[in-house]
Amino acid sequence: MTPLTESKHSDTLWLSLEVSPGSHINHTCRDAVRIANRLGLTVWFDFNGVHCGARPGDDWELLVANVQDAMENKRSLACANPRDVNPSHREVPASYIDLLPFP
- Structural domain of 34: 14-97
* Residue 63, domain member (yes or no): yes
* Residue 29, domain member (yes or no): yes
**Composition of the chain by helix, strand, coil, percent to 5:** 35, 15, 50
40 compared with 2, residue with greater pLDDT: 40
65-71 contacts, C-beta under 8 A, 24 or more apart: 67/25, 67/29, 68/25, 69/101, 70/101
Stated as kind and residue range, the H or E segment containing 34 is helix 25-39
* Residue 31, domain member (yes or no): yes
The answer to whether residue 88 scores a pLDDT higher than 50 is: no
* Residue 5, domain member (yes or no): no
* Residue 37, domain member (yes or no): yes
Would you say 41 and 15 are in contact if contact means Cβ atoms under 8 Å apart? yes
Look at the chain and report how many structural domains it folds into: 1
Whether the pTM exceeds 0.75: the reply is no
* Residue 33, domain member (yes or no): yes
* Residue 36, domain member (yes or no): yes
Q: Give tens-digit pLDDT for 18-65.
A: 999 999 999 999 999 999 999 999 999 999 999 999 999 999 999 999
Residue 77: φ, ψ to 5°: -140, 140
